[in-house]
Structure 1
Amino acid sequence: PVVHDRTEALAHVGGDAELLGELTEVFLRDCPRMIEEVIDGLCAGDADKVRRGAHSIKGAVSILGGKAAFEAALRLEILARQGDLSQAESAWQALRHALEQFQHVLKRE
């Protein structure tokens, strides 16, 4: 999947590049908190916490056009919703990697 679809992101904000920039700043600032929620949930075996964190990440990257991160967050959210944390570690690693790539792209723009 595409790491970042800027055209889609601009469409989400009605073509307002300034608003997109502000949302990007908020995401980059808040992403560590969302990541921490997922990690805390994984460490505690708390599927609901993992689901909430993955859901938050999914929503944020969706608005900003982060396709690969969205798909990875969705996979982790589904596993957690099903209470299946046996595959959650590999799903988390995929999401972490996608988020790193996405954040790198956002910081360059």
Structure 2
Amino acid sequence: MQNAQETSSNLESRYTGMVVFNRAAMLKRLADDESLLQIVIAAFVEDTPKQIDLLRHCLNDGDLQGAKLLAHSIKGAAANAGGDLLREVAFMMEKMGNIVDLNAALEDLEREFERLKNVMEAGS
């Protein structure tokens, strides 16, 4: 079994050129408004764990469609927040065809969210 560092490295190598937090792109989308950036980050950091928890419940209940919809929602939120790697993990989950694969990918999603959150909070 791979440890978290190896898995994160694999994700980064799979998505070469992507960063955990694309602050520059996010700021550009927000017209370089630092205060708005902080508001968006705070909302993202507060809301995403709730979405991940709902995703986990869907997986536990065997609700494939619900899980895929939540992965899609997380993908969009990550894209808006500048979370390139998290967006890609959520996109990958959205395309998966069964609960087993989605359950396995949930660890990657949670790990990438924590990494993104830590980077965002360190830069705040």
Question: If the length of structure 2 is used for normalisation, what is the TM-score?
Answer: 0.79
Structure 2: distance between partners of 1:14 and 1:105:
21
1:86 counterpart letter in structure 2: V
Structure 2: distance between partners of 1:104 and 1:89:
23
- Match of 1:86, SS? helix
Question: Is 1:100 aligned with 2:121?
Answer: no
Structure index of larger Rg: 2
5 Å-filtered alignment, 1:1-109, equals: 1-79=18-96, 83-109=97-123
Structure 1 gap ranges (5+): none
2:80 counterpart letter in structure 1: I
Identical residues among aligned pairs (%): 29
Structure 1: distance between partners of 2:68 and 2:52:
11
Structure 2 gap ranges (5+): 1-17
The total of aligned residue pairs comes to 106
Structure 2: distance between partners of 1:54 and 1:13:
24
RMSD (Å), alpha carbons: 1.2
